[in-house]
Amino acid sequence: MPAYLIVTAVLHDREAFLAEYGAAAARLVQSLGGRYRLMRPDGQVLEGEGPERVSVVIEEWPDRQTVLNFWNSPEYAEVRKMREGLADCRVVLVESEAPI
């Protein structure tokens, strides 16, 4: 069953985030079987605690295990270090037969 990573983030330094983490993460996502379905910098929070504006990314993966393999890989552990101090992220994993 397909799985999706849904990321909301507040970027503290957008240029550095995209140049460093974004580029490396994109290469790794593609090489490990994921693909980006949405990447937008202008999400507006309508309900809940936190900032009014967030960046939103949705990645599609073949299945939950492939996502977990990516997320827990040594390669991604190294890439994830690149975003430290550049963004505050919330990441949700969800499975779905097909997006509604």
What tens-digit pLDDT sequence spans the chain (100 residues)?
999 999 999 999 999 999 999 999 999 999 999 999 999 999 999 998 888 899 999 999 999 999 999 999 999 999 999 999 999 999 999 999 866 6
The tokens describing 100, both together, are 């509604």
Per DSSP (E only), the strands in 1-100 are 3-11, 35-44, 53-61, 87-95
pLDDT the model gives residue 100:
62
Report the predicted TM-score, pTM, of the whole model to 2 decimal places.
0.90
pLDDT in the model for residue 97: 84
Sequential DSSP letters for 66-83: HHHHHHTSHHHHHHHHTT
